[in-house]
Amino acid sequence: MTRVRKTPSKSVSIEDVARLAGVSITTVSRVINKFPSVKEKNKVMVMDAVKQLHFTPSIFAQRLATGKSNVIALVIPRYEGVFYSFYALELIRGIGTLCAVMKLDLLLHLTDSHSPLSIRGAGGIIFADIISNRPQLEEALAQGIPSVVINNYVDDLNVSCIAVDNVGGAEAAVNYLISLGHKKIAHITGDVITQAAAQRLEGYKKALKKNNIPIQKDYILNTDYSRGAARAAAEKIFKLADPPTAIFIGSDSMALEAMNVASEFGKKIPQDISIVGFDDNPSGLYGPVGLTTVRQPLIKMAEDSVKELSRLIADKKAKIKKVSLPTELVVRESCQPFSS
C-alpha cells in the first residue's frame, strides 16, 4: 500500500515564494506591488511560484511597500444604544456601501473620546461628529492624516466637514406649526452637548422670535436623545397648567415616544396635539399617525464624506471643503390647524 505523506499545514510566506522562484525577497515584493522596473524573466518566475504555492500577499505588507492604503477609518463617539440609532446605522450603511463600490476597506472605531486613536494601516479618517473627542481630531490633523468631519460644521480648524443645516430645518418645522395657527409650541431637545441638538434649539427659538412669539422656559425640555428621557419630558409637558398645542421634537425616535405618552394621557394626534420630529426615520410611518418630520440627508452626507476623503488621500495638498447640506420638511398626518 502506498502511503501519501502529508505536508504539515502552514501559511505560505514571501520567503517561500522567493526560494521557489530563485530570486530575492525584494524582487518578489516588487513583482507583487507591480513595480515596473522588474525584469520580465523574474516576473514570470515569481508569478509562477505564487500560483504553485497559492500565495496570498499580506495587505499590510503591500501598504508598507507602496506607501498607500485602501483602508479608511470611521470614528463614532461611543454612547448607549449606538447600534439602535437610526443616525448611526444610516451613516454606517452609506459609508460602507460607497466603500464597497470604490473598493475601499472600512475600519469602524467606537471611541470613548478620551483614548488616543490607534488605527493601524488607515489612509484617512472620517469623524462622525465631534463630541468631547476634539483632541483626537486635532491629533490626526497634526500627524497629517487626511480627515473629514461629518454632522459637525468645524469652522475653526483646517479640516473638511460635511454638516446638515439643523438651524434651517428646525426653523422650517416651527414655521410650519406657526402657519397652522399654533403659538404655544414646546420643544423637546436632544443632547445639547451635540452641535445638532444645540442648532435645532437655536432654529426653534429663531422661528418664535421672527414671529413675535414669546419663548417660554417651561416649554423647552432638554434630554439625552433617549426614548426614556423623551417620555419623561412629554409627561412634564402634558402636566403643565397651560400645555402647548404643538411640540417640535429633536428626533423621530423621541417623537414616537412622545406620541405614545400623548395617547396614555388621552390626547389624540393631531386633534389635541400636533407633533413634528427630525430625521425622517422610516419608523415614523408606523406610529398612530404618519409623523411630520424634517428629513436630513444622512446617506448623502455619508457618501460625500467618502468621496471627499478619497480626494484628500489622493492629493494631500488639496484644498479642504466645508459644506452644509439642506434639509426638507416632510408633511404627514401628525399636525393640523389649531382650533381654539
Strand partners, 108: 74
Separation CA 322–CA 315 (nearest Å): 17
Q: Which pLDDT tens digits describe the chain residue by residue (340 residues)?
A: 444 343 344 577 778 888 999 998 778 877 876 777 788 998 899 899 888 988 876 554 555 455 566 889 999 887 666 667 888 899 999 999 999 999 999 998 888 766 777 776 788 999 998 888 888 898 888 888 899 999 999 999 999 999 999 999 999 999 999 999 999 999 999 999 999 999 999 999 999 999 999 999 999 999 999 999 999 999 999 999 999 999 999 999 999 999 999 999 999 999 999 999 999 999 999 888 999 999 999 999 999 999 999 999 999 889 999 999 999 999 999 999 998 7
- Give the pLDDT confidence score for residue 299 in this predicted structure: 96
**Residue in 270, 289, 273, 292 with CA at minimum distance from that of residue 281:** 292
Question: Maximum CA pair distance of the chain?
Answer: 99
Q: DSSP strand E in 65-104: where?
A: 71-77
Specify the DSSP element, H or E, that contains 162: strand 160-164
> In angstroms, rounded to a whole number, what is the distance separating the alpha carbons of residues 334 and 195?
27
- pLDDT given at position 50: 87
DSSP code for 160: E
Q: Across-strand partners of 149?
A: 127, 161
Q: For 108, list phi and psi in degrees, rounded to 5.
A: -90, 130
Residue type present at position 67: G
pLDDT score at 245: 98
Summarised one tens digit per residue, pLDDT across range 35-89 is 777 889 988 998 998 889 888 765 545 554 555 668 899 998 876 666 678 888 9
Tell me the HSE value of 185 on the side-chain side, using a 13 A CA sphere.
Answer: 36
328, containing H or E segment: strand 328-330
Contact call for residues 104 and 306 (beta carbons, < 8 A):
yes
Angle at 197 between CA 192 and CA 201, to 5 degrees: 95
Domains, the chain, in order of start with CATH, read 14-66 (1.10.260.40), 71-165+298-326 (3.40.50.2300), 166-296 (3.40.50.2300)
Is the pTM here over 0.85, yes or no? Answer: no
What nine digits make up the cell of 317?
Answer: 495638498
